[in-house]
Structures are given as structure tokens and as C-alpha cells.
Structure 1
Amino acid sequence: MNQLYETDFSEWIHQTIQLLQAGRWQEVDIPHLVEEIEGLGKSERRGITSQLTRLLVHLLKWQYQPQRRTDSWLDAITDARMQIEFAIADSPSLRTYPEAQPEVSYQRARQQATTQQTGLEIITFPEQCPYPLELVLPETWLPESE
């Protein structure tokens, strides 16, 4: 099973499932199974952080470039909120995870919202996240223009 993990991941998954369903615990590749399960948890958290960053980038753009607002920005804001909501619905234990991430996500969003996306200097945006999380996640809130 160890070699199969390295050469054909899909088949490794298939065989691992069969072994688990058959109760053949001694044949299961435990180290790799543990690694994969840990990776799933990290992936879910990374997904929430990524969507929160995406949401914050678009909220900054919305607030600081009102003349350039588009429906695609609203779509991105709505989609990021929905993706966070879906992730939490799938894993309710992650409900408080966004609360632990606003500054990490905001600093990434602030960086991305600079010259890459807006042409504005980083000093244009506040150093600390100006948006309370309880306003950011609900589906209808948008920041006011500067």
C-alpha cells in the first residue's frame, strides 16, 4: 500500500476505502491515511482564509474605488460569502475560524488590493482591518465610499 500511495493515489484511495469497509485495519496504510486526513482539515481552513481574503479585497475595492464598481465585484463579494458559508455548513466546527483570521486575511487583501488590482498605494488602505467581521460576512453589507 505504501508504494501504491506514491504511484497511483486514486487507486490507493480506492483500496484504502475497501480495506476500511472490510474491517481489515492491519492492512491500512495508517501513516499516509493520517497525513491525508490532516491535509483535509488544513485545506478547509485554507479555503476559508482564501475566501475571506478575496472578500476583503473586493470590499476595499468597493469602498476606495466607487467610480469603478461593477456587477462582477458584487458577484465576487457574494460568491466569497457563499463559499465561506458552505465551508462552515459542511464543517460546523469551523464556525469560529473566520474570527481568528481577519487580520491575516486583511493584510493579504490589503497587499493584493494595491497596485495589482487598484493602482492605489498601500498607504491608501488602513493598516488594521476597518470592517468588523459581523458586518463582513452577512450577505447584504457593503462599506461606504471614502
Structure 2
Amino acid sequence: MSELTQEYERDFYGWIQYHVELLRQGKLAEIDVDHLIEELESMSKSEKRELISRLVVLLAHLLKWQYQYQQLADRWQQTWQGGSWRGSIIEQRWQIMRQLQDSPSLKSYLPEALNQAYSPAVKIAIAETRLPLTTFPKICSYTLEQILDENYYP
């Protein structure tokens, strides 16, 4: 096992700092290429996972808003206004937009991320509302534009 591999396994942060310095100094021949590639690929996957995760939460709250909001507002004589759901919807939209600004190439991944996020979002909505599965569409009925529109509440 090479010294760089040992450092990677023993002290990841130190390994990163060392490689940052190697890159700054242009010492490319000394770089632990295999692990660097592995870490860059992992970073890419992490960005995708974060986008999907935020979409899951956003979609779950949009579904609850659409399918349960009025029922709860009626039950509590118009005093319930869904403030925590609204707050979560606003927060997730903001975080998604921030992520897309930081990594604009993720925009092309949005349709796939939406497809991956919808089913878990429905499961969360079912668990939290106790509404039957048949309440919710089998595929997402919201467009990406609606999902990200700060004024859209179904």
C-alpha cells in the first residue's frame, strides 16, 4: 500500500489538504489520482442526492398542501393556515435554487431527480396525512416550473 493510500485511509482531511497544496504547486505527478477521481465522483453523487432529498421534502409538503390543507383548515375553523408547511416549502425552494445557482449543470438533472423524488414524497405524505395511496397521483402532476415557483401552492 502506497504512502498516499495510507494517508487517505488514516487522515482524509490531511489527505485533502496535501492534495490541494500539490495542485496549487502544480505537482501533478505526485497526486493520488485514483482516490482523487473517486472523491470527485462522490462529490457529484452527493450533489445529486442533495437535490433529490430537497425535492422529496418539497413535494411531500406540496402534496400535503394540495390534499390535506383544506381538510385541516375546515377542522380548525379557518385558524390553521399551514405555516410550518409553508415555511418548509419556502425553505426547500430556496435551497434548491441556491444549489442550482452554485451548480447550474444540475438543471439538466432536474427531470430525473423529480422522478426519483416523487415516490418517496408520496410515502411521506401518506405517513403524515394517513390519506390512502389512491389519494395521490401515480406520477407527479406538478411541472418543474410550478414546483420551483415561489408563488405556487396547489
Structure 2 unaligned spans of 5+: 74-80
Q: Which residue matches 1:120?
A: 131
RMSD: 1.3
State the Cα distance separating 1:101 from its structure 2 match.
2.5
Q: 1:38 is matched with which residue: 30, 38, 41?
A: 41
> TM-score of the superposition, structure 2-length normalised?
0.87
Partner amino acid for 1:139? E
Deviations 1:9-42 (A, max 9, x none): 1101111111111111121111111111111111
Structure (1/2) with the larger helix percentage = 2
Residues matched between the structures, number: 142
The aligned counterpart of 1:17 is 20
CA distance in 2, matches of 1:9, 1:52: 30
Compare 121-130 and 134-143 and name the one that shifted more: 121-130
TM-score when normalising by structure 1: 0.91
Task: Give the counterpart of 1:27 among 14, 17, 30.
Answer: 30
Q: Tell me, which stretches of 5 or more residues in structure 1 are unaligned?
A: none
Letter of the 1:20 counterpart: L
| CA positional deviation for 1:96 | 2.4
Deviations 1:47-73 (A, max 9, x none): 111111111000011111111652111
- Point out 4+ residue stretches in structure 1 off by more than 6 angstroms: none
CA distance in 2, matches of 1:136, 1:108: 16
Percent of aligned pairs sharing the same letter: 42
Q: Residue in 1 aligned with 2:56? A: 53
Is 1:77 the equivalent of 2:89?
yes
Query: What SS does structure 1 have at the residue aligned with 2:128?
Result: coil
C-alpha displacement at 1:97, in angstroms?
Answer: 1.7
Return the alpha-carbon distance in structure 2 between the equivalents of residues 37 and 129 of structure 1: 32
**Alignment of 1:5 onto 2:8:** yes
